[in-house]
Amino acid sequence: MKQSKRSFVVGGLALFALFSVAISSPYFFESRYQAQFPDSLNMAAATGEVKAVTHLPTPTPLRALYMTACVAGTPSWRADLKHLIEITELNAIVIDIKDYSGNVSFPNSFPQGTTHRGCTVSDLTNFIASLHESSIYVIGRISVFQDPSYTSLFPELAVKSKATGSVWKDRKGLSFVDVGAKPYWDYILQISRASYEMGFDELNFDYIRYPSDGDMSDTDFTWTGTSTRAAMLESFFSYLHDNLKPSGVMISADLFGMTTTVTNDMGIGQVLEKTLPYFDYVAPMVYPSHYPATWHGFANPAEHPYEVVNIALTEGKRREEVQRITMGIATSTPSKLRPWLQDFNLGATYGPDKVQAQIQATYDSGLSSWMIWSAANKYTVTALLSDTSTLRAEH
């Protein structure tokens, strides 16, 4: 086991209800969205002996990288990333449970459409156990409301096109479940509970928002109705919290980076203050490349990683502290904020200097934990400290 870490030691479709019940029956309507799935420990049984499920406490500070399900299912590649964590300051990993397409990465019989099929990790339970043996904290990422696979099965739950009444799609041809579609909330709970039983230490919820990329004037949110988007999304957050926290699982939420500096919901329902009370950690995606030109006077924010991340997190931390004081919120950590940082080329070339600048900006804002995102799962190794390296200045 790793002992020298600084600051920490480290498919098919579900069976639908085809009973002699009228389709108008409320019971039928609710039950048809639910999955039938095996005991989580049996999911990996075909691969050999299944290791006992354990959970690790959250490391403080936490430093993580992201792994897709396809990489998690590729023994050589996942071994390389596991080794990278073992020899550097990293101590955690984020693995896709449910991705942007709706694909669920472990063997299951959750509702699954015939399109957007992705990778399955047949031995995910054992892989998690092997990560735990190296004191690596394991976070499972669940993409929520963007789910073209689920909407292909249950179009009645989707965001609709006003013009055609059919399922609305964004510029990439992807569809969203209406945030107000409460039968879908229980589907997310099912996936979450099964994932925790497999050994995931924390569940990270992404795409917890209304769509933003496409012809928004053509969108029809029939399930949201007259509710504001921010209020409906907060109801979902509360539902997740109330139903998952009794199990002991840690939960976190991914937000647009600009939620730390913008006070309205930007049309997607996300408001920092309406998220913080319901999650153990909140991860603003403060990728400099995702900020608009001229933001805070920067012609190209991607070329100013230190400044963008420091401004975003400093303001987010200030707002969090104001909320704690005004609402009397007590937490066990100095801050719930734990940003996603950029390790990919967009808007600028990101080498060790720009990755390290973001990490230092995180520390200088008063935070100590971070996660690094690369959709390609290729990371700038020289931006990471080894176990024996001189430590960065931390606050």
> What is the DSSP annotation of 334-380?
S--B--EEE-S-SSS---HHHHHHHHHHHHHTT---EEEE-TT----
* Nearest of 46, 21, 15 to residue 33 by alpha carbon: 15
Looking at residue 27, its pLDDT comes to 30
pLDDT in tens, 212-245: 999 999 999 999 999 999 999 999 999 999 999 9
Instruction: Single out the residue of 175, 169, 198 nearest to residue 104, CA to CA.
Output: 198
Give whole-number Cα distances, 354 to 87, 297, 311, in Å: 21, 19, 16
Q: Strand 160-161 relative to strand 219-220: parallel, antiparallel, unpaired?
A: antiparallel
pLDDT band at 30 (very low <50, low <70, confident <90, very high): low
What pLDDT, in 10s, does the model give residues 288-330? 999 999 999 999 999 999 999 999 999 999 999 999 888 876 6
CA dist 268 and 235 (Å) reads 14
Asked if residue 275 lies in contact with residue 320, where contact means CB atoms within 8 angstroms, the answer is: no
Q: Where are the beta strands (DSSP E) in the chain?
A: 63-67, 92-98, 137-143, 160-161, 202-206, 219-220, 250-256, 281-285, 340-342, 370-373
The single residue listed with the structure tokens 């319901």 is 278
Check pLDDT > 90 for residue 265. yes
**Token duo for residue 154:** 């249950």
Strand partners, 253: 205, 282
Q: What is the pLDDT of residue 5?
A: 38
Whole-number pLDDT of residue 380: 97
What sign for the dihedral angle of Cα 30, 36, 39, 44?
A: negative
pLDDT digits (tens, 9 = 90+) for 11-28: 332 322 222 223 233 333
The structure tokens listed for 307 are 């400044």
Please report the pLDDT score of residue 333 as a whole number.
Answer: 72
118: pLDDT confidence band, cut at 50, 70 and 90? Answer: confident
Domains of the chain: 37-383 (3.20.20.80)
Give the angle 206-208-210 at the CA atoms, nearest 5°. Answer: 135
Instruction: Categorize the per-residue pLDDT at 107 as very low, low, confident or very high, splitting at 50, 70 and 90.
Output: confident
Q: Would the pLDDT of 351 be above 90?
A: yes
Q: What is the mean pLDDT of the chain?
A: 87
Mean per-residue pLDDT for 27-39? 50
Residue 179 clears pLDDT 90, i.e. is over it: yes
Q: How many Å from the N-terminal Cα to the C-terminal Cα in the chain? A: 28
Is residue 38 scored above 50 in pLDDT? no
Output the pLDDT for position 108. 82
Query: Would the pLDDT of 283 be above 80?
Result: yes
Q: Are strands 137-143 and 92-98 parallel, antiparallel or unpaired?
A: parallel
CA 381 to centroid of chain Cα atoms: 23
Question: Are 132 and 56 in contact, with CB atoms under 8 Å apart?
Answer: yes
Residue 392 pLDDT grade (very low, low, confident, very high; cuts 50, 70, 90): low
- Reply yes or no on whether the pLDDT at 168 is more than 50: yes
The mean per-residue pLDDT over the stretch 121-130 comes to: 96
Over the stretch 40-92, which tens digit does the pLDDT of each residue have?
Answer: 434 444 445 677 899 999 999 999 999 999 999 999 999 999 999 999 999 99
Q: Please choose, from the candidates 17, 16, 172, the residue with its C-alpha nearest in 3D space to the C-alpha of residue 101.
A: 172
Identify which of 315, 320, 174 has the alpha carbon closest to the alpha carbon of residue 257.
Answer: 315
CB 62 within 8 A of CB 89: no
